[in-house]
Amino acid sequence: DGGITQSPKYLFRKEGQNVTLSCEQNLNHDAMYWYRQDPGQGLRLIYYSQIVNDFQKGDIAEGYSVSREKKESFPLTVTSAQKNPTAFYLCASSIPPGQGNNEQFFGPGTRLTVL
Amino acid sequence: KQEVTQIPAALSVPEGENLVLNCSFTDSAIYNLQWFRQDPGKGLTSLLLIQSSQREQTSGRLNASLDKSSGRSTLYIAASQPGDSATYLCAVNSGGSNYKLTFGKGTLLTVNP
């Protein structure tokens, strides 16, 4: 099956801890994205990567970090500097524009709760 | 800065009714527009994508239209079913350097049997 997987489904973090959310895709997509979803708000872009070993900050990157060492993987680290990390985190991937229509496909999400 | 608004925020209809969900955006210079469905606690499922050069797209009982000049898109659902109950999200891709999606807050649809 082709698709995007995210793990874990639920994650609990204590104050001051860094945690890493996993995102893997087997769609052979070059571009990958991380979004955050809060109740009553639209999804907001945290980081994106158009190609391996390259990534760019989105609208709300403070307190987050990413890496893109492999085409299939785009892990997100929520650091202790993120003041309000409790949210639903969604990973997406797409064929970059110019190679296709840039339709974005989403994973099942990780719900992060700070204790 | 692109802003996306969805009206209504919530909609409750009886089964079998045809319905329209609305999405408006402030900057008409878009690359494409996507409609998604989200079930509670789940990820997003892509329903339809309309390129900026297109006027509409259809998939089964769903039809999405795009009017760039007026900054509007509609999602038409024919013969609604209880299984259509979900939150529907509109997202605009403005192109540029990152091709990010700007999302509306969604319309929560309930179809009553």
The answer to whether the beta carbons of residues B101 and A104 sit under 8 Å apart is yes
% of residues, chain A, pLDDT over 70: 97
pLDDT, residue A104, reads 92
Instruction: Note the pLDDT tens digit of each residue in B82-105.
Output: 999 999 999 999 887 667 899 999
pLDDT, residue B99, reads 77
Residue A101 and residue A90: Cα distance in Å, rounded? 20
Closest-CA residue of B relative to A107 is B43
Q: Which of A43, A56, A102 faces B31 most closely, judged by CB atoms?
A: A102
Instruction: Note the pLDDT tens digit of each residue in A77-87.
Output: 999 888 899 99
Q: Residues A25-31: what's their mean pLDDT?
A: 94
Q: Is the pLDDT of residue A1 over 80?
A: no
- Which among B82, B95, B86, B83 has a CA at the least distance from the CA of B21? B86
Q: Residues B52-79: what's their mean pLDDT?
A: 96
Task: State the nearest Cα–Cα gap between B14 and chain A, in angstroms.
Answer: 25
pLDDT, residue A2, reads 66
- Which among A5, A8, A18 has a CA at the least distance from the CA of A66? A18
Residue A105 and residue A111: Cα distance in Å, rounded? 18
Instruction: Note the pLDDT tens digit of each residue in B1-42.
Output: 899 999 999 999 999 999 999 999 999 999 999 999 999 999
Q: Residues A9-34: what's their mean pLDDT?
A: 94
The answer to whether the beta carbons of residues B64 and B22 sit under 8 Å apart is no
The answer to whether the beta carbons of residues A76 and A13 sit under 8 Å apart is no
pLDDT band at A31 (very low <50, low <70, confident <90, very high): very high
Q: What distance lies between CA A5 and its chain's CA centroid?
A: 11
Closest-CA residue of B relative to A50 is B98
